[in-house]
């Protein structure tokens, strides 16, 4: 066995971040990949825990140096995943959990192929997503409109994912996501079948 990757995507406000925090607590030998961003830090967030917060200049320098697994520009800000810690954790056989958008998922899929199991998380409908964005109180009306427009675009890409979870009930969705995380570690693509069969057949 070697490490593998669980990619979780979905519209902003769908609850995926809260779900992944619980999955990380439950699934041992896992690593939660922390994204780097140029957006402003929000109240209650901590640099190095929620995100690595950097300037646009620094982010663009790292893009040119090839230091990102994937990156995208969303809502006029950069978001990306540093490559170095990901490779280290995969080498150690860990489940690496990614919170990345649909653009990032496509790039990661091209780089890591069968190591990835992907999940798209969304709300039951657009109305409930809008209400969640309003309720969390961190976005302006203009920002909410941008996020809803972006959500519509993201929804058209959901067929590219292995699983779809409708986050209508948090505990039910969490149970399903944890089950997918455990199952992802048992994928046939992660097993050296030839070596296993040879060992299996030679043992009486």
pLDDT digits (tens, 9 = 90+) for 103-112: 889 988 998 9
Mean per-residue pLDDT of the chain:
89
How far CA 2 is from CA of 88, 145, 186, in Å, comes to: 12, 42, 10
pTM tops 0.85, yes or no: no
* 76 is a domain residue: no
* 174 is a domain residue: yes
Q: Which of 6, 153, 148 is nearest to 72 (CA)?
A: 153
Asked if residue 37 lies in contact with residue 78, where contact means CB atoms within 8 angstroms, the answer is yes
Burial class (CB in 10 A: 0-12, 13-18, 19+), 128: middle
> What range does the domain containing 99 cover?
4-34+94-202
What pLDDT is attached to residue 184? 94
* 27 is a domain residue: yes
* 154 is a domain residue: yes
What pLDDT is attached to residue 135? 86
* 116 is a domain residue: yes
Strands (E), the chain: 4-9, 30-32, 36-37, 52-53, 68-74, 77-82, 95-99, 116-122, 163-166
* 54 is a domain residue: no
CATH number at residue 183: 3.40.50.300
* 53 is a domain residue: no
Q: Name the band, by pLDDT with cuts 50, 70 and 90, for residue 165.
A: very high
Name the domain count of the chain: 1
Asked if residue 18 lies in contact with residue 114, where contact means CB atoms within 8 angstroms, the answer is no
* 46 is a domain residue: no
């Amino acid at each position: 066995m070697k490490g593998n990757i669980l990619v979780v995507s979905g519209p902003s406000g769908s609850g995926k971040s809260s779900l992944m925090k619980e999955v990380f607590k439950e699934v041992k030998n896992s690593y939660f990949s922390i994204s780097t961003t140029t957006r402003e830090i929000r109240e209650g967030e901590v640099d190095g825990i929620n995100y690595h917060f950097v300037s646009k200049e620094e982010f663009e320098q790292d893009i040119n140096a090839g230091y990102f697994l994937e990156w995208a520009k969303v809502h006029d800000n950069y978001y990306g995943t540093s490559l170095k810690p990901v490779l280290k954790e995969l080498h150690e056989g860990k489940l690496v959990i990614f919170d990345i958008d649909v653009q990032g998922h496509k790039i990661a899929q091209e780089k890591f192929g069968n190591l990835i199991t992907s999940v798209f998380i969304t709300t039951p409908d657009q109305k409930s997503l809008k209400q969640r964005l309003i309720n969390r109180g961190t976005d302006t009306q203009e920002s909410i409109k941008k996020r809803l427009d972006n959500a519509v675009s993201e929804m058209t890409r959901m067929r590219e994912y292995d699983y779809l979870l409708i986050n209508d009930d948090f505990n039910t969705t969490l149970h399903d996501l944890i089950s997918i995380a455990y199952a992802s570690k048992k994928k046939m693509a992660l097993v050296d079948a030839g070596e296993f069969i040879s060992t299996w057949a030679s043992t009486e």
